[in-house]
Structure 1
Amino acid sequence: MDGLSTYELPEVKFSPRRLGHVNLYVGDLAASTEFYTNIAGVELVRREPTIDATFFSNGNTHHDVALMQCRSGAVRKGRDDYVQASSFRGEVPGLNHLAWEMQSEAVLIEKLKAGTANGLEIKFSADHLISHSAYIEDPEGNYHEFYADVTEDWRSIFNTDREDLVTGNWDWQNIETPLGPLRSDMEDKRRVESALFHARCVSRAVIAVEDLGYSEAFLTSIAGLTLIEQADGVSAYRAEMSAYDLLIVSADTVARPGLVGFSLLVEDEADLKASISKAGGKGIIASVTDAGHKMSAVVNDPDGLAVEFYHPREADGLHYLPSHGDDPSWIFDY
């Protein structure tokens, strides 16, 4: 897009590997925990009752989805009274943050040093025991977490036997020997058998914004995402190791700005078909797509957020850019 230079943003280019998880503020933590466990089929792996939070994963990573009860902008404290990034926000259900997985702690620290020297503002830096993170606010007020895993044995920390506080301060400026790449065990696969759907992992998200140009400048110059395609108030982006991670749409094409929805990958097509058939009798599916390149179903969570369950029949990525229409599920027509 012409005119990117008109937005005064530091050149950072975090260039993350992929979208790692979505963290949501919810109106009813119990109802949303029930939905993501027993409808979406993502296993509850951690509760943190002190901050009214739950975390979910089927083994792909320490968490693909996290939920936090709305608290009217209250302060949430972690270990040693650390004030967390979820504080002062979350008056209504919606996005807490999108989390982007970095190649390593070493790369993350390198980007933070270069970025802050160039004027980058870090809202919070956090030690989550399983990962180290920096939180950056985009021009629309959305938080983006850039994180690096710091243990391969995340299940020793994220499990339902523990409910202690996880997060503390991360003094990234004084790390003498930052860690190199660490990866989760890709053979670690869990399944909530009793659930309606059986998702494997989060893959992409959709955010509605007021200023498309400013958002593009942030996503390319700071986040370091690659613009795949754009037209008519819609832009698609990818991270370094994935084909399609983020769709940005104009806020006037959807109900409201902010997170509109996200997608969960289902690895088995027959399983997804069976889930759609069962869900049909419950009246919970907003739309179904049965196309040459994918099968998908869209379901609204308890706060009305659109959640797509999909199985790719071809390479998983952007096949064409969605174009807005009357059907609210148009954002998943890719």
Structure 2
Amino acid sequence: MTATQDSVSSLQTSVPPALSLGVVALSVADLGRSLDYYRQVIGLEVLEQDTHRVVLGAGGEPLLDLHGQPGAATSVAAHTGLYHLAILLPGRADLGRFAAHLIREQLPVQGASDHHVSEAIYLEDPDGHGIEVYADRSPESWAWQGGQVKMDTRAADIGSIVASAGQDTAWRGVPAGTVMGHVHLKVADLAASRAFYEELLGLDVVADFSAHGALFVSQGGYHHHFGLNVWQSRGGQPAQVGEARLLSASVFLPEAELAALRARLLEAGHPLPATGDTFTVTDPSGNLLRFGRKV
């Protein structure tokens, strides 16, 4: 067993490795404008659509649920809510094709970073919602020490990323096998958020940058399923009804673990429905998480 594998196996995870993230729901000011953006720029496909709502995804799997709220203002940076949602592509070649598409079409981006565990391109939708499109490096290459994974932020080598696509740089949209890799949240209080995500939900703090206003939590040795930061939102209030905002983020667990989590939440005083495989809970910063049974 390598040192990296040994460090991963030593993590004390109480949420099972089968945890996965699902649909992120957002409100948007102009549903047609957002639909154009997520289809043409990001490359998601429409799975469901009506007058007030569109569900988009890849390979038939839903990733994003947009709710039209005509006239909604851009979310205030100081409010808690979504920092970015993170779309995880199957491989580096897919990220290369996406990067080539952005370059060909001269589409605006917020940045591109090498995080050691992954490479990422950052964008912002017309309502100011942050988006990360990324590809993981092989987990065997991740460096762990004392239960903490090495993550940093350096400039991405875009030339190398594009070259990884080889001769086929055509972007045909987000490919099947793409998932919601993580969700990064703006929170009001890092200590309260840590208690909720670590002690109540049972996630592991795998990158503690609390001295710099951020924590990263996960299960099963992943580099992070949730990012939590107070960079803009320390002491802030939740995004308001009149703003384009995060409505919910979905988390799926196997039946037994879902029942155990539900019992912990009830014991902690969170109001939950008496029965059912789906329930919601709000974190200390007002971010709504929707838990369901993994099938």
TM-score scaled by length of structure 1 = 0.43
TM-score scaled by length of structure 2 = 0.48
